[in-house]
Structure 1
């Protein structure tokens, strides 16, 4: 008789052929074995489906659907998940070997919790280590106090109770790029949440990812996001305005520019290596030479480390970054 899984690892995938094999391997190599890996292939036009199907492991399930976006893919996954616990994971990240065991043991020992995440390590598209990220809060109180100012969880690090996610309506497909943040705001009303300080995954930054430095999306994006995060219902007008902003930036030149700006910032703010920061800035400027951010970062990369860190502290105070 087939064992019922304790955990569903939920992985949406869209044109993820470049990285998905490593992501799947990191799940299959977990010290905790009683899981299913549910891959929602969201209309990929590359070899994503073929790569996943070439893994000979009965714990892998794949659902193919026309491209509908990450929120729709995740909601399909929630409806088809066989386990009571959902471990979110992205197709370009890497799970550390004990990730599932640590989070499973936590839920068994703390039934009052509905969601747990972790700190993470970041790497670039070549898997080169960038920096360690510590979340804005780790205890329930810290997260509850700060959830209004910044997203308190790294999406692909979280494990949560499926029944709670379904009860609160799953991911809001209108909250494009921050559907996870909106879900956490609802989750925290249903029970306790936390983050572990131990990093459980490696998040890979790459130009193809939806991860973009939101400061580059413009002031209106930030205002609109804040309005939509805490709205009872997102209006059609709000969604249309948000989509207009996102569509205007949905081209590879902007994505490559944004990626290299983000990498440069990490090599200045989080893992001081000015030469690497300058290399990323040069690439960013090549993609979008008329944007001023790259030139400012280039100047900073030539200044002493103490000055750069003082600048960053003031920058955080002004922007809340």
Structure 2
């Protein structure tokens, strides 16, 4: 019987990093849960975990990070930034320190489902530059999702949605670092560093995809929809829309529509804001 041909380097399963930012607002219990779900519970675990600490944290969280770095069966690199500079700066600092070109993002209070990487990695290995997914909204009880945030699937659909709103959920992303670096990496864009990066990648012709099934439980806390409103958020929205127009990602009519619709959304009552958002990106679970 003939022996099978050995796999070439390009055909071998990609080794990958998980990049997880932590800051003072996170809790030891949720960080521990996020780490476990993105490493030892995965059917296809990462080769390393990179934790970037964005500024000082409480002693209890600091001790938990030290324990994780010491005891995790997955090698851990702990990157400490002395002052809190925000998510974009933390990711810009830590992404080049990841040992592998393929990097999965994770948030410190979310839960990755066991087959997350098994579902996403083959798409990256097949040529995708970035792969997101749908996700569940969860509360304290991760076993009882409260809503589903759907994800647009297919290049045309993703491109069309991206002109109106963010088409990729940041906590679900697996990306190629080299593709991110080709467009300048994470840039400071208040409350929209991810959307602004995806828009630049799409504009540059990157292969951006989504998996339709939910692969992450996204923790939604009290006040989440209140924080989507107000003048501070409006200023960030207007700045983002100006950037998207300057990039050529949206034309004048789409820009004007976005300013009116997305700007007005910031000042409707919270209940209306939540209902509108769920109508746009998903649905509640009964």
Pair 1:53 & 2:66 matched: yes
1:146 to 1:267, Cα distance in 2 relative to 1, 3 A: closer
Give the equivalent residue in structure 1 for 2:33.
22
Post-superposition offset of 1:80: 0.2
> How far has the Cα of 1:267 moved from its partner?
11
Residue 45 of structure 1 deviates from its aligned partner by: 2.1
Candidates 72, 75, 78, aligned match of 1:62: 78
Deviations 1:159-210 (A, max 9, x none): 111111112111112x01100000001111232211111111110012597x
Does residue 1:104 correspond to 2:117, yes or no? no
Structure 2 vs 1, CA of residues 266 and 73 (structure 1 numbering), >3 Å: closer, same or farther? Answer: same
Identify the structure with bigger relative contact order (alpha carbons < 8 Å, sequence gap 6+). 2
| Structure-2-length-normalised TM-score | 0.74
Deviation at 1:52, TM superposition (A): 2.3
Inter-partner Cα distance in structure 2 for 1:22 and 1:263:
30
The alpha-carbon distance between structure 1 residues 105 and 61, as it changes in their structure 2 partners (threshold 3 A), is same
CA distance in 2, matches of 1:95, 1:264: 24
Q: Which residue of 159, 163, 182 corresponds with 2:196?
A: 182
- Secondary structure of 2:129's partner? strand
Cα 1:119/1:27, change in 2 over 3 Å: same
Q: Say if 1:267 and 1:134 are closer, same or farther in 2 by CA, change over 3 A.
A: closer
* 3-state DSSP of counterpart to 1:54: helix
Aligned match of 2:264: none
Matched with 1:196 is 211
What is the CA distance between 1:263 and its match in structure 2? 10
Q: What is the alpha-carbon distance in structure 2 between the residues aligned to residue 61 and residue 219 of structure 1?
A: 37
Contact between 2:18 and 2:50, CA under 8 Å: does it hold in 1? yes
1:125 Cα deviation from its structure 2 partner? 4.5
SS in 1 for 2:168: coil
* 1:44 corresponds to which of 43, 48, 56: 56
- Structure 1 residues 17 and 180: alpha-carbon distance in aligned structure 2, compared to 1, 3 A threshold: same
Tell whether the 8 Å contact from 2:196 to 2:240 is kept in structure 1 after alignment.
no
After TM superposition, list the pairs within 5 Å mapping 1:241-320 onto structure 2. Answer: 265=275, 270-271=283-284
**In structure 2, C-alpha distance between the alignment counterparts of 1:212 and 1:80, rounded to whole Å:** 35
Question: 1:81 Cα shift?
Answer: 0.6
Give distance in 2, aligned partners of 1:263 and 1:272: 18
Contact 1:94 1:203 in 2 (8 A): yes
Question: How many residues are paired up?
Answer: 239
Task: State the match for 1:78 in structure 2.
Answer: 95
Offset of residue 79 of structure 1:
1.2
- 8 Å CA contact retained: 1:182, 1:230: no
Which consecutive residues of structure 1, in runs of 5 or more, have no partner in the other structure?
233-259, 274-321
Once the 2 structures are TM-superposed, how far is the Cα of residue 5 of structure 1 from its aligned partner?
A: 7.6
- Paired residue secondary structure (2:284): coil
Q: RMSD of the TM alignment (CA)?
A: 2.9
Map 1:210-225; keep pairs closer than 5 Å. 213-217=227-231, 219-225=234-240
**Which segments of 5 or more consecutive residues in structure 2 lack a partner in the other structure?**
1-12, 248-269
Aligned pair in 2 of structure 1 residues 23, 262: CA closer, same or farther (>3 Å)?
A: farther
1:131 aligns with 2:147: yes
Residue 126 (structure 1) shift: 4.9
User: What SS is found at the alignment partner of 2:165?
Assistant: coil
Q: 1: CA distance between counterparts of 2:129 and 2:277?
A: 35
